[in-house]
Structure 1
């Protein structure tokens, strides 16, 4: 029994020793193998690893298209090829880039008009030897210089005019290419030239093997199908602005991407932006075996606008023809603006502007953005808001009469209407455009019972009340239109009693044409102020561009506010606006219209400075306006027409231009309800994006 136990004790150590020995052998083999891999074969594996490369190419996708409300393409894309340079992540010296630029200059043609004086000086320094650059700065100056940037600044300043003048046309073309290549970011393709020709493409393709970093990229450029029609409001695209670079990069953009930079292109950048194609290429091993993984791109979503391009073209033609007839009727610039919108939905149906600056030779006189960026004193066309303000403040009521006669206040020029109308009520005041009726309401709001008890106890309160009331209609307030920047007009401040009277007749604060259209739309819409809009729907892109894709987002009408006036008050003013067209100041052109318009005329007195130096002088004139809507009982279109800075009639100014434009525009609108032929074909305009 004892021998058996002793025998088992001998077996345990032997097994442990065998186990330890086996572990020792395995670890030795592992260490030996690691030594072989790291020491003996390490260099070979490093070389093998260096032969492995992974590259990712991101190819731009076209932006979404824009359609008008009837499905006509108004903003399209034209495919093109661009030559790009991708600077590797490692530092590439300037000499290498310059040599590439010299080789490219022989293969592509580039413009040199963007080259600046500073570009030329920097380029000359690059061409100099180290000794030549060193001699530009004296030893004493170098001793005082604290930073390399100060030294470089001195070198730039010392480049001679002779050296600049000695640059050849070929040098400038090389510089233009070098300039674009240097502006790029590491590992991001930088466009050197967009829209290369077929010949340039073939030459580049044959030489890409010796041009590291140079590539040909599919690209697209915006094209405006109907030329300058509505062109400025479509907006522009271009390089990402420096101040917004971080914003876009944080949202997945490449630094070299093009983005919307103004108006609709900017407002709907997130929608219009295409989804880039991504091509991932992995090359491994001595045999350069490669695998390619491609994720296809997609055009951006499409926009369906509220604009009727056929009506837009007609409105532009009407305004341009009226400006032609006007001849020398303007104090300085010939200009006119018009907006047609649906008061029920806020849809902008047409928005046209014309501006021909004095002395300008420009063939393109379209100024559509002037409807949202330029503000004017609108005159009597805002009197409907004045009457409703007086009703709401309690200083007047439906049927209230005032004696229309001259108003004489201390230190204030005489205030009066075109003629003395005697006792008039609110509707008659709108019909004949009585100024004094509006003056009386303003004075009462300010605590002045003219002529016997005029203390102006509430002058500032009256200013505030009138402006608050006007803002409910959109006058002096943000309209809410889907554009990134618009004007809200200018407030004349609040100084003396006479200015308050001017405010009540639209000759103190200034408003834009779009604000004027929103104001009259609010009255037409029974007091509901609707947000104007240029885009109705966002649609998915489809292969057949003549078809519309599925609806991604539909924008419903948005009511911004309801004015603080009763239905009775609004109805009373609406009837007064109808009287203007049937028997009042606009009856000559509108009394027989079958579509039964309502509206209000306006003529704001202006003084415009002309001439220079000793010849500088002020010239009197007027701004002609007309607002309205139709049909009177069921409004479906509202309009605002503004013709600023017209000479007085006695000085050769053509009168009634705003009324003529509005009359023809409404005729066209209702004619198009019966027969439509579609927009007129025009020469498309290709966008020239800003690459700076």
Structure 2
């Protein structure tokens, strides 16, 4: 076959036209894919490169005593956050942060993974940084795209009183609880009330997080505010007033300093708690932010158990209060004439055992009224022998022994009212005697 020069030129021209058409077709398809099919994805990326969402943490409410003195307030601290999308897997950024924050790269990466909330949302990797660290971060900002610092309110304790078991403490929310309450605005890394009134009144003390939108440049530096309808102002938590009197609390804490024990002072007319002390205790300032694992382990492993609230968690014999239960049982069930007397010689004999009165010289003859006034053990030893143990236990429960007080402090333990089944379980059937009843009646 023979081709003329004109035919060859025409063929080349057609091939060129077809090639150009194909290239433009590919370009058109790609533009369609970018602008139509994947528009939302790239729009989000573009927006994230230009607009940054700044989380504004809301301070918790202030806790006051009954006289308006501040027990727990707030103070500011600087935290370090990073944007996962901007940092990516840039090893140089992690290495530089490790040196500045004095944290291993592994720890930083673990915190990013643990507190991850999305590619474009800040993740807290360090808190309460000092001024030197803050300055170095600012000086090296161009080397740390996607890394920022933020101001956050944490708990402060200006009072001389510790009140550690009353106040409780804050703790970083764990994944189990986060799954339950995440719909209420909580997120990974948040501090929540974990014990004491901080826990009991979490929904009152906790504020509502705000959000601010700012414009940033290619280096991640803030260059201006963005007026976005999605911006929300942070709302402070509500304040809380306790019935505690700080002056009285401090006085009792000083009395128990270096000792083990518990003291509660109540207003007998209203039931208000004016002071509550459990010793040993701990400084609530240890929990002002995220507590270090070393501090937490020291508290947990301390043989004196400073985290244990001896007031609400301890169960103790109630003492002579149980005599009132026996007296009421006798009066209600007409077991013994209240005017009948029992001679107290300082000891009560049961078989070969001696059960002593607190007054070893004895009280002399006592009726029910005298026995209550003088808290005479011997009178009530005699009385309890006439009372069926299960009947006495029934009246003890009418006094609400063996029940929770429903005090607004988490983790309260309920006591035990011993009846026949309790003693049978403890000592075995027939393993207990009248002597056990005598010990019970004096508490």
TM-score (norm 2): 0.72
In structure 2, relative to structure 1, the CA distance for the partners of 1:370 and 1:385 (3 Å cut) is same
Equivalent residue for 2:7?
Answer: none
Where does 1:402-551 land on structure 2 (aligned, <5 Å)?
Answer: 402-404=342-344, 407-409=348-350, 413-418=353-358, 419=360, 420-446=362-388, 462-463=389-390, 465-491=391-417, 493-495=422-424, 496=432, 497-506=434-443
- Quick check: 1:60 aligned with 2:53? no
1:87 to 60, 84, 89: 84
Equivalent residue for 2:116?
Answer: 185
Q: Secondary structure at the match of 1:374?
A: coil
Cα offsets for 1:294-340 (capped at 9, x unmatched) = 211021001011111011112222334xx7xxxxxxxxxx4232111
Cα offsets for 1:613-668 (capped at 9, x unmatched) = xxxxxxxxxxxxxxxxxxxxxxxxxxxxxxxxxxxxxxxxxxxxxxxxxxxxxxxx
Equivalent residue for 1:383?
Answer: 323
Where does 1:71-110 land on structure 2 (aligned, <5 Å)?
Answer: 71-88=68-85, 96=89, 99-110=92-103
In structure 2, relative to structure 1, the CA distance for the partners of 1:44 and 1:339 (3 Å cut) is closer
- What is the CA–CA distance in structure 1 between the aligned matches of 2:146 and 2:337, rounded to whole Å? 78
In structure 2, relative to structure 1, the CA distance for the partners of 1:72 and 1:290 (3 Å cut) is closer
- What is the CA–CA distance in structure 2 between the aligned matches of 1:227 and 1:97, rounded to whole Å? 47
Unaligned runs of 5+ in 2: 1-24, 217-222, 282-298, 425-431
Cα offsets for 1:381-410 (capped at 9, x unmatched) = 543343233323322354342344655546
Where does 1:297-336 land on structure 2 (aligned, <5 Å)?
Answer: 297-320=234-257, 334-336=259-261
- Quick check: 1:42 aligned with 2:32? yes
In structure 2, relative to structure 1, the CA distance for the partners of 1:397 and 1:240 (3 Å cut) is farther
Cα offsets for 1:520-568 (capped at 9, x unmatched) = xxxxxxxxxxxxxxxxxxxxxxxxxxxxxxxxxxxxxxxxxxxxxxxxx
8 A Cα contact 2:200 2:408, kept in partner: yes
Give the CA deviation at 1:79: 0.7
- What is the CA–CA distance in structure 2 between the aligned matches of 1:350 and 1:502, rounded to whole Å? 31
2:209 to 272, 276, 300: 276
Where does 1:261-272 land on structure 2 (aligned, <5 Å)?
Answer: 261-272=194-205
- What is the CA–CA distance in structure 2 between the aligned matches of 1:98 and 1:189, rounded to whole Å? 18
Where does 1:137-176 land on structure 2 (aligned, <5 Å)?
Answer: 173-176=104-107
- What is the CA–CA distance in structure 2 between the aligned matches of 1:99 and 1:500, rounded to whole Å? 75
Where does 1:587-598 land on structure 2 (aligned, <5 Å)?
Answer: none
- What is the CA–CA distance in structure 2 between the aligned matches of 1:289 and 1:193, rounded to whole Å? 25
- What is the CA–CA distance in structure 2 between the aligned matches of 1:74 and 1:265, rounded to whole Å? 12
In structure 2, relative to structure 1, the CA distance for the partners of 1:36 and 1:99 (3 Å cut) is closer
Give the CA deviation at 1:490: 4.2
- What is the CA–CA distance in structure 1 between the aligned matches of 2:437 and 2:166, rounded to whole Å? 35
8 A Cα contact 1:353 1:367, kept in partner: no
In structure 2, relative to structure 1, the CA distance for the partners of 1:374 and 1:203 (3 Å cut) is same
- What is the CA–CA distance in structure 1 between the aligned matches of 2:224 and 2:76, rounded to whole Å? 33
- What is the CA–CA distance in structure 1 between the aligned matches of 2:305 and 2:179, rounded to whole Å? 37
- Quick check: 1:70 aligned with 2:67? yes
- What is the CA–CA distance in structure 2 between the aligned matches of 1:40 and 1:264, rounded to whole Å? 60
In structure 2, relative to structure 1, the CA distance for the partners of 1:246 and 1:466 (3 Å cut) is farther
Give the CA deviation at 1:435: 1.8
- What is the CA–CA distance in structure 2 between the aligned matches of 1:296 and 1:353, rounded to whole Å? 40
In structure 2, relative to structure 1, the CA distance for the partners of 1:38 and 1:305 (3 Å cut) is farther
Q: Secondary structure at the match of 2:339?
A: coil
- What is the CA–CA distance in structure 2 between the aligned matches of 1:440 and 1:38, rounded to whole Å? 105
Unaligned runs of 5+ in 1: 1-34, 111-172, 324-333, 447-461, 507-692
8 A Cα contact 1:352 1:367, kept in partner: no
2:158 to 194, 206, 225: 225
- Quick check: 1:257 aligned with 2:257? no
- What is the CA–CA distance in structure 2 between the aligned matches of 1:67 and 1:242, rounded to whole Å? 31
- What is the CA–CA distance in structure 1 between the aligned matches of 2:142 and 2:334, rounded to whole Å? 84
Q: Secondary structure at the match of 1:238?
A: strand
Equivalent residue for 1:624?
Answer: none
